[in-house]
Structure 1
Amino acid sequence: MSRLSIPEYAMALAHVASMRSEDPYRKVGAAALDADNRVIGTAYNGLAPGFNAPPGFWDDREARQKFMLHAEVNLCSLFRRGEAKLVATTTMPCTACMQTLCANGVREIYYREVYHSSDAPEIARLYGVKLEQVDFSPFETGVVNP
């Protein structure tokens, strides 16, 4: 197997991070790299740290969505503005997460799955942020065996 590209490397980290999500319906992971391609952090979607969901919480997807913290928001809490050059996320950022990433100075964003309800492409164009789909999963390529 050949060496992973930097976007594939970051995407592999994002996929592994997604495995920590407690959301049974949608597991999203994200990873941030600095200007030297060093890992700043990884994050995933889920509930606030230390919060234990009451019985039945996960049964109603619509009702619980407003309480979920997105992977990108959790990731941005791990670095200072301008510190992350690149972010990879398993799903295209939603509109609010794309705004948050831009506000935090991220210049390159890679994603795997398209999120059709997002204005991320339009926001990326306005701010001159590279937003690119990377069709890579470490699980499908055999890089990682879950």
Structure 2
Amino acid sequence: MSDRITIPQYAMALAEVASLRSEDPFRKVGAAALDFDNRVIATAYNGLAPGFDAPEGFWDDRDKRQKFMLHAEINLCSLFKRGEAKIVATSTMPCTACMQTLCAYGIKEVYYREVYKASDAPEIAETYGIKLEQVVA
């Protein structure tokens, strides 16, 4: 038996490292995309739009600032073209809108660590024939 980690575990490890870059004090989410040869093509995390410097006190009110946050999956998809990525790993299950976006980008497999109960991702994945699977440490 090999000690080598699987491709989903590899992608998840990259997503977990990417999450460490998030500025969000409430929820740090990372994501990684691999192409059809299992090569890393992008990593991203949830946060503010590139170049935006949050004013003093911005992070204090989660509800107020939430509408300005870009989800890790959206940031990730901005880094490649439709059809280039096969696998996406996210540290948290994609929300409904992010799962829809991953479908639009032609993602075939989505792996996640933490369950997000408010998401319709399982139903969306099943409908579109996308593998959605939890990867635990």
Asked if these proteins are the same fold (TM beyond 0.5), I'd say yes
Instruction: Say which SS state the counterpart of residue 9 (structure 2) adopts.
Output: helix
1:56 is aligned to 57
TM norm structure 1: 0.92
For the residues of structure 2 that align with 1:123 and 1:7, how far apart are their CA atoms?
Answer: 20
In the TM superposition, 1:80-119 aligns within 5 A as 80-119=81-120
TM norm structure 2: 0.98
After the TM superposition, which segments of 4 or more aligned residues of structure 1 sit over 2 Å from their partners? none
Q: For residue 108 of structure 1, report the CA deviation from its aligned partner.
A: 0.1
1:74 is aligned to 75
Identity %: 79
**RMSD of the alignment, in Å?**
0.8
Q: For residue 102 of structure 1, report the CA deviation from its aligned partner.
A: 0.3
* 2:30 aligned partner, one-letter code: G
2:3 is aligned to 2
Q: For residue 2 of structure 1, report the CA deviation from its aligned partner.
A: 1.0
**Structure 2 unaligned regions, length at least 5:** none
Number of residue equivalences: 136
**Structure 1 unaligned regions, length at least 5:** 137-146
Q: For residue 31 of structure 1, report the CA deviation from its aligned partner.
A: 0.1
